[in-house]
Amino acid sequence: MQTSDRRLFLQGSVAAAAAAFTVPAVARAAATQPAVQAPEKVAAGCKTKFAVNIEMWGFGKGSLHERVYEVAKLGFPAVEFWPWRGRDLDALVKACKETKTEITQFTAWGFVPGMNDPKNHDAVVKEIEASCETAKRIGAPMMTVVAGNDIPGMSQEQMHAHVIEALKRCAPIAEKAGVTLILEPMNIRVDHKGHCLYGSPAAIAICKAVGSPHVKINWDLYHMHISEGDLCGRMKEGWDQIGYFQLADHPGRHEPGTGEIHYNRVLKEAWNLGYRGCVGLECSPLEGELKAAQRVVAADVW
């Protein structure tokens, strides 16, 4: 065989061998890759039950009940929202029934006027009564209550004592309705400067002082991270007073995977402690709801 012919033969043989090796290798690699999930139902396989906050997940800023349909398309089983007054609750309930979506909780008492001022306690009681009726109407088992902002001339201890008084008056109402009031500590470093309740120790002390199984903590991991850190350790310490979890990453208050919190470890800890309730996604999607849902799914792997 001449040199030139031999060169052509060898080149052809190498190319053929490469092709023979490459095609099966590509096929094998493709076979081992996870299937690409379609945009719809991307969150359907999560271990953790996530409840999308339909105030912060805007889906184009449609009405609340329209957002429920979008949540269901992504495969999330539940939603939460903020105040109930002024909302089309009939449309919301209809959307939830049609999509088999739960309502986990809503806000029954907000920042102002505060529960930390005794002059507001009669109004608090009246509103909790009305909110419990609303909770039964829409099938929500929990309602968030907020302590209130700082009151000039009052110490933090005094304000917390007034919160305990208000919750003691409201606890029998919640117990009778079968609804749990979840008290939410905020953070004052980033989002809620001037609020009277932040961090877990004070919230735990308040709930223990009230002494009702229907008064627990809305344990927002975003606020706790900013206020005190040590998320897993603090969670263990306050376990018997936790009624509900919410989350967002930090900085930015976006979905998990956009900041510094290792939510895979935190969600695993909650699971190992026995939590099987919903975790509220009270976060603002950084790059749209679909991308946020994909990141939530990634954070639920451990």
Number of structural domains (the chain) is: 2
Q: Which residues lie across from 144 on neighbouring strands? A: 107, 182
Tokens of 8: 């052509």
3-state SS track over the chain: CCHHHHHHHHHHHHHHHHHHHHHHHHHHHHHHCCCCCCCCCCCCCCCCEEEEECCCCCCCCCCHHHHHHHHHHHCCCEEEEEECCCCCHHHHHHHHHHHCCEEEEEEEECCCCCCCCHHHHHHHHHHHHHHHHHHHHHCCCEEEECCCECCCCCCHHHHHHHHHHHHHHHHHHHHHHCCEEEECCECCCCCCCCECCECHHHHHHHHHHHCCCCEEEEEEHHHHHHHCCCHHHHHHHCHHHEEEEEECCCCCCCCCCCCCCCHHHHHHHHHHHCCCCEEEECCCCCCCHHHHHHHHHHHCCC
Q: Which of 180, 182, 222, 216 is nearest to 199 (CA)?
A: 222
Tokens of 151: 């009151």
Residue 79 belongs to domain with CATH number: 3.20.20.150
Supply the pTM of this predicted model.
0.87
Average pLDDT, the chain: 91
Q: Which of 84, 41, 92, 83 is nearest to 63 (CA)?
A: 92
- Whether 78 and 213 map to the same domain: the answer is yes
- Whether 117 and 217 map to the same domain: the answer is yes
Q: Which of 167, 178, 180 is nearest to 125 (CA)?
A: 167
Q: Which residues lie across from 149 on neighbouring strands? A: 195
40 confidence band (pLDDT: 50, 70, 90): confident
What average pLDDT does this structure show over 104-118? 98
Chain segment 51-87, per-residue pLDDT in tens: 999 999 999 999 999 999 999 999 999 999 999 999 9
Tokens of 140: 């929500």
- Whether 161 and 195 map to the same domain: the answer is yes
- Whether 5 and 117 map to the same domain: the answer is no
Chain segment 57-67, per-residue pLDDT in tens: 999 999 999 99
Q: How many residues does the chain have?
A: 302
Q: What is the pLDDT of residue 24?
A: 39
- Whether 25 and 61 map to the same domain: the answer is no
CA count, 13 A, side-chain hemisphere, 272: 11
Cα radius of gyration rounded to whole Å, the chain: 25
- Whether 129 and 232 map to the same domain: the answer is yes
- Whether 42 and 27 map to the same domain: the answer is no
- Whether 82 and 42 map to the same domain: the answer is yes
Chain segment 251-294, per-residue pLDDT in tens: 999 999 999 999 999 999 999 999 999 999 999 999 999 999 99
Q: What range does the domain containing 56 cover?
A: 38-299
